[in-house]
Amino acid sequence: MTLRRITLRHFIALCCCLFGLFSLSTHATESASLDPLLAELGEAKIKDMEPILVKIEAVSDETILPLLRTLLNGNLYYIKAEKKVIGQFETNGETFYKDVFTNEINTGIDKPDVDKIRVNNNLRGYLRNAIARIQLTSKSPSVRENAVRELLSKLDDSTVATLERLYPYESNKKVKEAMGLALAMNTASQTELAVSNRIAAIETLSSSLENDVRNLLTTLTRDDNAAVVTAANIALEKIAQRANRFAFVDQLFFGLSLGSVLLLASIGLAITFGVMGVINMAHGEMIMLGAYTTYVVQLMMPNYIDYSIWVAIPAAFLVSGLMGVLIERLVICRLHGRPLETLLATFGISLILQQLVRTIFSPLNRQVSSPSWMSGSWEINPVLSLTLNRLYILAFALLVFIVLVIVLKKTSLGLNVRAVSQNRNMAKAMGVKTNWVDAMTFGLGSGIAGIAGVALSQLTNVGPNLGQSYIIDSFMVVVFGGVGNLLGTLVAAFTLGIATKFLEPTTGAVLAAILVLVFIILFIQKRPKGLFPQKGRAAE
């Protein structure tokens, strides 16, 4: 038994050694066949370089990609004495050389020891296509798909031959569809082929939204064959119809994105306005404080930007919420029943907070960095991509709304808030501490405004006037939806956001805002209490 176990272990070890020797032998053979070509490349003139690159591509695999990319970027050099290519790189103003395959830094090399291998635009075009062709055999499906799409703009004979060879054996559906699209483009552009084959290829292209496909079809509308021209025009019309549908979706997304910002900015105002009847002109400055809190958190966590936003959200809620409680206890509580004086007092507070921020942070705008996981976009197809920061903010706004509804419906604070909003005197007679409810309500509304500031910091620069851009819109949302009604605030925010974004392309941003304001004025004439007016005692 022991003998069998030892024999098996030795057999496995022997196999591993043989595999390693085989890999080293293969690498050594490939390196040996590549070295003369690289030496030839380093000594060749620009006009003689493309045939050498063709040979290098033929005898190599993905391991040659660093060399081609270095040459494409203009950083490939040739050591004359050693007949060896090497890459030049710069870090912090310091120039150094390293092996393009192993990334091993070479010391003791001076500029007189090397010659730059220069490239022109023709060679750059060839290098891009060569890199894409090599990537067609990558193990990663996404790399293969991107490589095919990069080749669509220039389908030469070698590229088409490579695609025809790989197409039958491709297992990934998306990559195979991209390859089929490239081959259909090649078929449609070949004037010597049968017309029926070209028309069939054009019909295949009509399902694609790629820019290169549309450019090709536009070219085919000037073809000598009338049937091909007709087919190309029909295909372009189908593509235009699909593109218009996705453009509608894109506009809708931006409308929802604006609506989510309006929701976050106005939902806190809906609470304070609905419960306390206070017209808080300093609500925009609560948003501003939340944005500046995000900026300060990032200053304190410069090496953890990806996680800073999770610290900024509760921090902004606390900072703005505590400021709201402070304002309510020092000012608002002394002005109950005097709405005009409350409006003037909160307007003065807003000016004080703006000047305070200017004194501490200066009047200049501050840039807040977005976490890496919020950067970029989600590309659904070539004409529709959703920016990740707006997508996350939309989801975050809905989450905040749901949490707030749960707080108001399921907690004792929410019960007291609803009691005070319906009948303050009766709630006070039943033992509810209305002063405490007012302070907590104002703090809750201000805290949510601070969270809105965190979201806005990911979309725009942070400055002292940030809140002033949203205070009027917030009041419009609250009045349009129905004072104190959270569902109305939700519907109104998204309605106004979508309407604004659909009006902007035809009227412009300023006129769109004016038209929305005129609509709200006319709407209030018919329904003074908004979309969802409060009922029962709350309506009083």
Q: Give me the DSSP letters along 339-355.
A: HHHHHHHHHHHHHHHHH
pLDDT for 471:
85
Mean pLDDT for 380-387 is: 87
SS3 384: strand
Lowest mean pLDDT among 61-75, 199-213, 237-251, 487-501: 61-75
Q: Using CA of residue 108, residue 111, residue 117, residue 121, what is the dihedral sign? A: positive
In terms of pLDDT, which residue wins out, 13 or 46? 46
pLDDT at 15 over 60: no
DSSP calls for 491-524: HHHHHHHHHHHHHHHHH-HHHHHHHHHHHHHHHH
pLDDT in tens, 164-205: 888 888 888 888 998 999 999 999 988 888 889 999 999 999
pLDDT at 40 over 50: yes
Instruction: For residues 59 and 64, give the distance between their C-alpha atoms in angstroms, rounded to a whole number.
Output: 10
pLDDT in tens, 414-441: 788 777 767 777 877 877 787 788 888 8
DSSP calls for 173-196: HHHHHHHHHHHHHHHHH-TTS-HH
Q: Which two tokens stand for residue 416?
A: 């007291």
pLDDT for 394:
93
Q: From residue 396, how far is each of 199, 456, 475, 494, 522 by CA, in Å?
A: 48, 12, 21, 14, 32
Mean pLDDT for 469-495 is: 86
**Domain boundaries, given as residue ranges, for the chain:** 136-220, 245-372+391-539
pLDDT for 100:
79
Buried b (16+ CB within 10 A) or exposed e, 270-300: bbbbbbbebbbbbbbbbbbbbbbbbbbbbee
Q: Which two tokens stand for residue 428?
A: 């006070």
Closest CA to 9 of 23, 25, 17: 17
In terms of pLDDT, which residue wins out, 360 or 82? 360
pLDDT for 318:
94
Instruction: For residues 44 and 48, give the distance between their C-alpha atoms in angstroms, rounded to a whole number.
Output: 6
Lowest mean pLDDT among 52-56, 70-74, 425-429, 490-494: 425-429
Pick the CATH number of 245-372+391-539 from 2.60.40, 1.10.575, 1.10.3470, 3.40.50: 1.10.3470
Q: Say if residues 77 and 147 touch (Cβ distance below 8 Å).
A: no
* Mean of pLDDT over the chain: 83
pLDDT at 540 over 70: no
The secondary element (H helix, E strand) that includes residue 407 is helix 388-410
pLDDT in tens, 273-303: 766 777 888 888 999 999 999 999 999 988 8
Mean pLDDT for 450-462 is: 90
Backbone angles phi, psi at 336, to 5 degrees: -60, 135
pLDDT band at 352 (very low <50, low <70, confident <90, very high): very high
Total Cβ atoms within 10 A of residue 371: 18
Burial group, residue 180, by CB count within 10 angstroms (0-12, 13-18, 19+)? middle
Buried b (16+ CB within 10 A) or exposed e, 389-414: bbbbbbebbeebbeebeeebeeeeeb
pLDDT band at 305 (very low <50, low <70, confident <90, very high): confident
pLDDT in tens, 505-535: 888 888 888 888 888 888 888 888 877 766 5
